[in-house]
Amino acid sequence: MSGDNDFVVVANRLPVDLSTAADGTQTWSPSPGGLVAALSPVLEKHSGCWVGWPGVADAAPEPFHTEGGVLLHPVPLTAADYEAFYEGFSNATLWPLFHDLIVTPHYERAWWEVYRDVNERFAAEVDKVAAPGATVWVQDYQLLLVPGILRQTRPDLTIGFFLHIPFPGADLFRQLPWREEIVRGLLGADLIGFHLESYVANFLELVSQVAGPLGSRIGQPDTLIVEGTPATRRVGARITASDGRSVGVGAFPISIDPATLGAADDAAVEKLRAELGHPATVLLGVDRLDYTKGILQRLLAFEELLASGSLAPEDAVLVQIATPSRERLEHYRRTRSAVEEAVGRINGTFGTISRPVVHYFHRSLPKQQLQHYYRLADVMVVTPFKDGMNLVAKEYVACHGDGSGALVLSEFAGAGVELHQAHLCNPFDIDSIKRALLGAVRGFQWEPEAMAERMTAMYEQVTAHDVDLWAGSFLDCMREAGR
């Protein structure tokens, strides 16, 4: 069976989530996360088809077109799939394993069976919608087996795979009881993309370690240099899969579409500053509420700076916007409790009735409103323990083309490779976060020109390497690799 779409993206989630009100009214709202933020403009540009789960268990809506001309093709998941595939194998096995064991992964055979089954169902839906010879782009850790399944069922397709999260060192990955099946699944693609060259290196090392059991003829990878301008050129490798096909592997740092942030609205930003009581310094955190993001650590650093008098409560305000995420999982619940307890304690100690020092929002905001917060913030605080890229850091930088603002950034965020002019910190070390925060706050007085130069350099990097360039260079390499 085949459909008539020449370009198909398949991801765990559709770009919109379905919700049903008490009276039965159904509404669609934007899905959380960087994958959706990055791919939505790409799909609109290519008028493609997006295959994915509608965000709620046991719902089977009909396919429909978005206003931007993208065909959304829902894949239903049952409540049991949601538990074992999404909450279980994807987010309690792969997520912690790929984020360097910040919490301990669970290896459950029953979850693996469901993961494999759900991957087969996603592949079957792609089979229905993809035209003969179509380009299919598989996304992220929830669908690691899909390239291999499609290679068997639809050898006519050109298949790409992109991982939106880090790829761990081979010694960690080898813990996974199903490591060979996963590697074999990935090698079904013509091109496998990661954010960073270090993740590519980890993957190549892993492939060479599990090559024996896989029965592949994998040797030393040849260097592959794809032609292009310096901005689009990508260096990666070619490896040989067990069926003799050549598979490209490369680093493609994902980015943002500055246009989706909307136009600057100075009046709205000024109004926000007034609502906060005109503090001298506004610090900002924007994250999914995930234990990888280091939200508690940044609160503790802020608290210690207030306690020592390095920051005065009448001068500094921290705004933390946290999108609800994976809320039934234990580590997510614990993280939320710890964050909210810290917010309460800090406000109880340093706030006044009219002036909390931490403003905390546990909700998603429209992009335009988020843009006002980005413009407002003097210091953006991004402190993940591990993050594949981190688009929030890039969105902030894109809102400060005038050289204003400062970025405190974890050295374990993928974005640190490109945004090395940020105030880098080690999020495992509260003193390091404190130093970076104070360096940023004091920098405005002590070295304003150098601060502006740092922001301008990062702005130029982000705007010259936007999501269009990311998608274009991946798709170019994919066509080349699929030949």
Chain residues binding ligand ADP by CB under 6 A are: 32-34, 37, 286-288, 321, 323, 364-365, 370, 389-392, 395
Determine the Cα–Cα distance for residues 176 and 25; give it in Å rounded to an integer.
Answer: 43
**Of the candidate residues 154, 164, 394, 454, the single one contacting ligand F6P (CB under 6 A):** 164
326 contact choice in ligand F6P, ligand ADP, none (CB below 5 to 8 Å, kind-dependent): ligand F6P
Beta-sheet pairing, 191-194 with 64-65:
unpaired
**Of the candidate residues 140, 287, 303, 395, the single one contacting ligand F6P (CB under 6 A):** 140
Residue appearing with tokens 């993208």? 70
Determine the Cα–Cα distance for residues 166 and 172; give it in Å rounded to an integer.
Answer: 12
Q: Does residue 336 bind ligand F6P (CB under 6 A)? A: no
Residue 132's H or E segment, with its range, is strand 130-139
Shortest distance in whole angstroms from residue 383 CB to ligand F6P = 17
Shortest distance in whole angstroms from residue 339 CB to ligand ADP = 13
What is the DSSP annotation of 361-430? E-S---HHHHHHHHHH-SEEEE--SSBS--HHHHHHHHT-TTS--EEEEETTBGGGGT-TTSEEE-TT-H
Shortest distance in whole angstroms from residue 481 CB to ligand F6P = 23
323 contact choice in ligand F6P, ligand ADP, none (CB below 5 to 8 Å, kind-dependent): ligand ADP
SS3 category, 53:
strand
With respect to ligand ADP, which residue has the nearer C-beta, 190 or 290? 290
Q: Does residue 165 bind ligand F6P (CB under 6 A)? A: yes
**467, 475 contact by CB (below 8 A):** no
The packing angle between helices 146-153 and 179-186, to 10°, is 60
Only one of the segments 33-41, 173-181, 236-244, 342-350 lies at the binding site for ligand F6P (rule: CB under 6 A); that segment is 33-41
Q: Does residue 325 bind ligand F6P (CB under 6 A)? A: yes
State the residue number with the nearest CB to ligand ADP. Answer: 34
With respect to ligand F6P, which residue has the nearer C-beta, 57 or 214? 57
With respect to ligand ADP, which residue has the nearer C-beta, 34 or 148? 34
140 contact choice in ligand F6P, ligand ADP, none (CB below 5 to 8 Å, kind-dependent): ligand F6P
Determine the Cα–Cα distance for residues 326 and 406; give it in Å rounded to an integer.
Answer: 30
Shortest distance in whole angstroms from residue 100 CB to ligand ADP = 15
SS3 category, 40:
helix
**Of the candidate residues 5, 8, 16, 34, the single one contacting ligand F6P (CB under 6 A):** 34
**12, 52 contact by CB (below 8 A):** yes
195 contact choice in ligand F6P, ligand ADP, none (CB below 5 to 8 Å, kind-dependent): none
With respect to ligand ADP, which residue has the nearer C-beta, 287 or 466? 287
Q: How many Cβ atoms sit within 10 Å of the Cβ of residue 191?
A: 29
Shortest distance in whole angstroms from residue 198 CB to ligand F6P = 18
Determine the distance from the C-alpha atom of residue 81 to the mean position of all C-alpha atoms in its chain, rounded to a whole number. Answer: 23
With respect to ligand ADP, which residue has the nearer C-beta, 365 or 469? 365
Per rule CB under 6 A, count of chain residues that contact ligand F6P: 12
CA nearest neighbour of 366 among 14, 30, 20: 30
Determine the Cα–Cα distance for residues 234 and 477; give it in Å rounded to an integer.
Answer: 8
List contacts with ligand F6P (CB under 6 A). Answer: 12-13, 32-36, 140, 164-165, 325-326
